[in-house]
Amino acid sequence: MHLLSASCVCALFVAALLRQANSLETVIGLYGETVEIPCNNAAINAEDILITKWKYDKGEGLPGDLLVKQKNQNVSISATDEYKGRVSMAANSSLLLSAAKLTDQRTFTCMVVAGADISEYPVNVLIYKTAAGLEISDKAEDLEIGKLTKLGKCVAKDSNPAANITWRKNNTPLANGKGISIQASVLVDPVTGLSTTSSVLEYSAEKEDTDAEFSCSTRHAVGSELVSSPATFTITYSTETIVLQVTAQDPLVEGDNVSLKCLADGNPAPTAYNFHLKGELVKVENTDTYTITNVSRDSTGEYKCSLVDDPTMEASKNITVSYLDIKLSHSGTDVKKTAGQALNLTLQIDASAGVKVSWTKDNVKLNKEPTFTKLTYADSGRYECEVTMGLLSQKDFFELAVEGVPVIRRLSKKRGADHGHKVLICEVEGSPKPAVSWSINGTSLDETPFVNGKITHKITVVPTANLSVSCSVSNEFGADSRTINVSSINGEVRMDKQGPSDDNDQTKLVVGVVVGLLVATIVIGLAYWVYMKKSKQGSWKTGENEDGSSEEEKKLEEKVEENSQKAEV
Ligand SMILES: *[C@@H]1O[C@H](CO)[C@@H](O)[C@H](O)[C@H]1NC(C)=O
Ligand SMILES: *[C@@H]1O[C@H](CO)[C@@H](O)[C@H](O)[C@H]1NC(C)=O
Ligand SMILES: *[C@@H]1O[C@H](CO)[C@@H](O)[C@H](O)[C@H]1NC(C)=O
Ligand SMILES: *[C@@H]1O[C@H](CO)[C@@H](O)[C@H](O)[C@H]1NC(C)=O
Ligand SMILES: *[C@@H]1O[C@H](CO)[C@@H](O)[C@H](O)[C@H]1NC(C)=O
Ligand SMILES: *[C@@H]1O[C@H](CO)[C@@H](O)[C@H](O)[C@H]1NC(C)=O
Ligand SMILES: *[C@@H]1O[C@H](CO)[C@@H](O)[C@H](O)[C@H]1NC(C)=O
């Protein structure tokens, strides 16, 4: 070229400039690799090329020679500097530059002489390098909700140009904004010129970030996207709500165990809690549970739990221990009492809530609690009480046996159906079951079942003469006996109206007392008159008392009184 005239050089220079301006090509080479820098001479027939020369721009307009190839000669390397040993030329005139470095980023120019034409093809060379890898370092141990925390640092090492790092949460890119701060910095290696990009993410976590995957990525002009391995973080937050959970049987009764569990929603969960057991403070560590064993009625009350480091976080529950105790004043199978006596029956109930009491006698429901001011044989039986309180219930019972001296209530006679014989009836009251015997041998008809202390015994006799017959009864408490006159069959007329009218008069008498003394006197007088009349009617033919007389009633009354006096002793 230096052989060419100045004017010619000048003209060529202008032409070259024009071409440069039109077609400054850019070639991107990879760091450390061989870069092929093409000589854009496709338009020129290779046969016509006389000289191909590669040079580069040293800066400040100074050119640096690299190599020259003259037609039919070998390539001559003219480089003396850093390019010595790194450059060669391909058959198609491309410059091959090995072990590319960042300092190779400059303009290389291919100059071709073909015939009288001299052409220059400058090529701009860029050397790229992708980062070696992406890694998140300086990871936060945990992220506290609502607090801007350095989550980590993502480093893209040794790249050119400098990498652009993008942070992602669950693959969605993050940008600076509310609760997100990304600070990137680039460090250039003074020797290699490669850039190391660091990006620090400060992040204000939310509760939902618990399982979120954070990663960083970079997409280089060459090569595929680089993505760091994902990182997850423990999201920590202080307790906002606290709940006391009570696990207990329903109903909770004495002797049961109750488990208290304190649930705080903080993360990490508190490791220690205070349990307030009706005022008593118990601190538990490394557990959130406290068990109360063998509760009693005194355990009823308010229970609380709270955080050790924040006593204002507190939860409470009321625990009620149900109890139902009953005590029956008389209980068991052997409650024996004497007829006529009083029985003071009491049922003590100690319960934690309202109760329902029900009674049965001999499996028949009673409408109210039984009371016994004056025991009768009919009061005998099995009494059961059941006290219920919600799901709890208690039962007790007693078997009452009313005992006493047997008393003949009534000794009566009846004409038999065929007029040939008579039926004698002995009605007895007493318990245990009295033995009944007659003073004569008759045909025993029947004996009623022994119910409510009563028994009725019947015999049939055929009296051939006027007889005095007695009925005798006895049990371990005593005996009774009564006699009845039975006339011979001839001429007897049966009249049996005395009893009922007598009862009638008694009723009137009672009414009379209530109404007033005067009225009573009149009624008594009337009753006496009626009595006399009836009495005459009843005995005018036989002269016998067919039924138990009023004298007999008196006797019975005396006996009962006697019994009750015995019992009181
Ligand atoms: C030039 O030759 C090299 C190998 O010799 C080849 O890789 C390259 O593609 C060629 N370039 C052009 C522009 O033909
Ligand atoms: C439960 O407590 C009662 C007194 O409250 C006690 O008599 C009983 O022995 C205790 N039972 C157990 C298993 O500890
Ligand atoms: C427990 O009972 C007390 C008094 O009976 C009451 O003031 C309190 O509110 C109750 N607590 C809970 C948690 O029900
Ligand atoms: C029966 O109860 C009454 C009152 O309830 C009492 O005055 C009396 O002493 C009691 N009698 C007996 C024998 O307990
Ligand atoms: C009843 O009969 C028995 C024998 O059957 C006899 O020994 C007894 O004397 C008789 N009693 C009367 C009162 O007739
Ligand atoms: C039996 O008694 C009645 C009166 O009660 C009397 O009229 C009759 O004569 C008596 N009979 C004998 C056999 O004694
Ligand atoms: C039964 O008869 C006797 C005499 O035989 C007499 O003394 C007695 O009073 C009579 N008893 C009755 C209850 O009528």
Domain with residue 436: its CATH number is 2.60.40.10
Residue type, 26: T
CB atoms within 10 A of CB 183: 12
115-143 average pLDDT score: 91
CA distances to 13, 230, 244, 429, 513 from 19, in Å: 10, 50, 85, 148, 152
Report whether pLDDT(546) > 80: no
> 303 and 316 in contact (C-beta within 8 Å)?
yes
Does residue 381 lie within any of the structural domains? no
In a shared domain, residues 198 and 251: no
Distance 407 CA to ligand 7 centre (A): 21
Average the pLDDT over each of 170-179, 351-360, 468-477, 559-568 and give the range with the smallest value: 559-568
Q: Is 38 in the pocket of ligand 1 (CB under 6 A)?
A: yes
pLDDT single digits (tens) 419-442: 778 899 999 999 899 999 999 887
**Of 130, 147, 175, which is closest to residue 32 (Cα–Cα)?**
130
**According to the model, what pLDDT value does residue 496 have?**
35
pLDDT tier for residue 54 given thresholds of 50, 70 and 90: very high
Using the CB atoms, write b or e for 8-45: b if 16+ within 10 Å: eeeebeeebeeebeeeeeebebebeeebebbbbbeebe
Q: Is 466 in the pocket of ligand 2 (CB under 6 A)?
A: no
**According to the model, what pLDDT value does residue 422 have?**
86
CA distances to 69, 475, 566 from 431, in Å: 150, 7, 15
Q: What is the total count of domains within the chain? A: 5
DSSP state, residue 175? -
> Nearest residue CA, atom 7 of ligand 5?
441
**According to the model, what pLDDT value does residue 116 have?**
83
pLDDT above 70 as % of the chain: 81
**Domain closes at, from 319, 352, 371:** 319
**According to the model, what pLDDT value does residue 562 have?**
53
**According to the model, what pLDDT value does residue 455 have?**
93
Q: Is 466 in the pocket of ligand 6 (CB under 6 A)?
A: yes
The H-or-E segment that residue 19 falls in is helix 6-23
Which of the pair, 534 or 208, is modelled with greater confidence? 208
Does residue 328 lie within any of the structural domains? no
Q: Is 510 in the pocket of ligand 1 (CB under 6 A)?
A: no
In a shared domain, residues 463 and 540: no
326-330 average pLDDT score: 94
In a shared domain, residues 109 and 148: no
Residue type, 216: C
Does residue 9 lie within any of the structural domains? yes
Distance 161 CA to ligand 4 centre (A): 110
Report whether pLDDT(448) > 70: yes
**Domain closes at, from 98, 128, 158:** 128
For strands 392-415 and 332-338, give the pairing. parallel
The H-or-E segment that residue 203 falls in is strand 195-203
**According to the model, what pLDDT value does residue 44 have?**
76
In a shared domain, residues 14 and 100: yes
In a shared domain, residues 177 and 151: yes
Report whether pLDDT(196) > 90: yes
Ligand nearest the Cα of residue 548 is 7
In a shared domain, residues 155 and 252: no
Average the pLDDT over each of 17-31, 251-265, 337-351, 544-558 and give the range with the smallest value: 544-558
**According to the model, what pLDDT value does residue 534 have?**
58
Report whether pLDDT(328) > 80: yes
- Residue 62 tokens read as 């100074």
**According to the model, what pLDDT value does residue 41 have?**
65
Which structural domain, as residue segments, surrounds residue 469?
406-493
Give bridge partners of residue 69 from the DSSP assignment: 52, 75
